[in-house]
Chain A
Amino acid sequence: MRKILAIVLLGIGSGVAALAVGIPGPEIDPASVGSGLALLAGTLLVIRGRRRK
């Protein structure tokens, strides 16, 4: 059930996000998608990169 819910929500989220592609002046600027996602991914990798003992 959890997986099904996850799939449905993932679909809804991705769909809404995909809809915005190509729209002039949306709330999240597509022109900055590279640097925006790289910043998020880089920060997450650093946070998750802690070695634990």
Chain B
Amino acid sequence: MWRLFLLGVLFSIELLAVTLWLDGAVLIGRPGLSGFIGVWGSWILRAVVGFAIFFLTFSWLNYRPVLLDAARDAAESGVDWRFVAAHAVFISLFGILSSSLYGTTSSLLISDLVALAWLATGVSAIACGAFAFILPNLWLRIARNTGYLWIITLVAVLVACLTGNSTRSLWPWAANITFRMTRVLVSPLIPNLMADPGKMLIGTPRFLVEVAPECSGLEGVGLTLAFGITWLTLFRKQCRFPQALILLPAGAALIFLLNSVRIAALILIGNAGAERIAAGGFHSQAGWIIFNLVALGFTVASSSVPWLTNPKSADAAAAPADNPTAAWLMPFVMILAAGMLSRTLTADFEWLYPLRFFAAAGTLVFFSKKYAGFDWRFDWFGPLAGLVVFVVWIAPDLFVPAGAGAMPSPLSTATPLARNAWLAFRVLAAVVTVPIAEELAFRGFLYRRLISADFESVSLRRFSWVAFLVSSILFGALHGSRWPAGIVAGAMYGFVLLRRGRIGDAIAAHATTNALIAIDVLAFHHWNLW
């Protein structure tokens, strides 16, 4: 399995380099094949990445033994260095041809030939890279033993790209409907409402909003449809068809309507005097709140409304007993929910950050009886690992002089009481509630859930490459621009947990890292770390 991971890392690095280096906009408008690449190049990349992600995910869900068999055989066959060399040659040629293709223009024939060679070397480089780590016969076996999955994935990805690139023309049309619905919603509440359908401006003299094409509501519709179809596919045995399909248009219509409600609320908040909150946190977070509510409503309806559920499914027949997941996951979920709420009410500084602390602390107290049975002990190794993670975390900032990341001005100009109270809760959250909540969620729950559905029966000392890598990568992905250090941190805390099988060790390591970061921020004014 590590070989598949290595292949993923290699392709990700190359993809990142290509994306950063080549600007597809240069080719847009050129005649022939190079112009086609300019329009469709980014979509071809998305199709390749999408295919890999969809195929791997659904293979893992439905054909795990096939993947494990192939991984075992791949491990026995070794790396084929001839394909590695061929990959290097094709990548070099791809680089040279890229310079020519994205550089100065030449005659149509030469330009088309270069574009054709560029595509051929790119495809050959991908194929050779894939064959180097997993031999061609194993790829064939995976394709054969996973039924029609590769065809289904290919069609889905192609349709996604074709639709995605062509629905741009629908944006102005959808934005117009959103504009009209917003006016209907707001006009009874604001007597002096200004609405200019020509410029798509709506609001008041105090707060005016432009309903841009990208705010049309189609993005939410797309996300809801993608989520709904994935959900109905994965849980099809628990749903009653065709009745459950009604949830798709219902969800799409609801989120389209709620987008107008979002814009109406934006105008009302801005007009009420909170312009910076409306344009800042509310504008950023309201879309996510709406999407999450619609998605949750979709899942609850599909599993709870008798008309939509399959009466023969075992899940519908059984009565709920207990919920072992809640104690491990709820503190983390509550931090995320409180964070979303506090950011929604934020103008330029998150004064409501303490909400995250109280949400997590309250949840931890609520489940305290369950936690009494956990192993909270730790020894010297956890804090030592935490120190190592701290060094990795601040390494990119080593050349940033102390004081470069200044204290945010709303905090520095606040009264001493407000500033110190905010700092106290910020430190408490970083050192106490966040390490406990994140370690319970990522190491205690997710790591073991990736091994078995009955995660509580899995020992905290049991090792699995897939669970270790996936939980570390997801942990890193949640840390924004510091995702590489986040992955290292996740792996290190996972290693600490596995050493003795004690959740306390992982929490001690995480708390040490966060405490050192807090000291760095407060003592050396590296505010960019928070």
Interface of A toward B, CB cutoff 8 Å: 2-3, 5-20, 23-29, 31-32, 34-36, 38-40, 42-53
Contacts and interface: CB of A to CB of B under 8 A. Distances in A.
A49 B326 contact: yes
Contacts of B339: 35
Interface stretch (B8-16, B99-107, B152-160, B398-406): B152-160
Given A14-B160, A49-B323, 6 more contacts: A14-B222, A16-B221, A28-B220, A29-B283, A39-B340, A46-B333
Contact of B284 (A12, A32, A45): A32
22 contacts: A2-B242, A12-B167, A14-B156, A14-B157, A16-B164, A16-B218, A16-B225, A18-B161, A19-B167, A19-B222, A35-B340, A39-B292, A42-B333, A42-B336, A42-B441, A44-B299, A45-B445, A46-B326, A46-B330, A50-B323, A51-B323, A52-B318
Contact of A47 (B224, B230, B299): B299
A19 B168 contact: yes
Nearest to A32: B288
B226 interface: yes
A20 B219 contact: yes
A13 to B, nearest CB: 3
A13 B224 contact: yes
Interface stretch (B209-217, B345-353, B493-501, B522-530): B209-217
Given A7-B152, A46-B323, A49-B325, A29 B287 contact: yes
Contacts of A45: 325, 329, 445, 449
B430 to A, nearest CB: 16
A46 B160 CA distance: 30
B3 interface: no
Given A14-B226, A16-B164, A40-B295, A27 B159 contact: no
A7 to B, nearest CB: 5
Interface SS of chain B: helix, strand, loop or mixed? helix
A18 B164 contact: yes
A29 B224 CA distance: 15
A24 to B, nearest CB: 8
B229 A15 contact: no
Contact of A53 (B229, B245, B285, B321): B321
B24 to A, nearest CB: 12
B321 A52 contact: yes
A20 B165 CA distance: 10
B330 A10 contact: no
Interface in B266-290: 283-285, 287-288
Nearest to A14: B160
Of the listed residues A7, A19, A31, A32, the one surrounded by the most CB atoms of chain B closer than 10 A to its CB is A19
B320 interface: yes
Interface string B288-324: 1001100110011000000000000011001111111
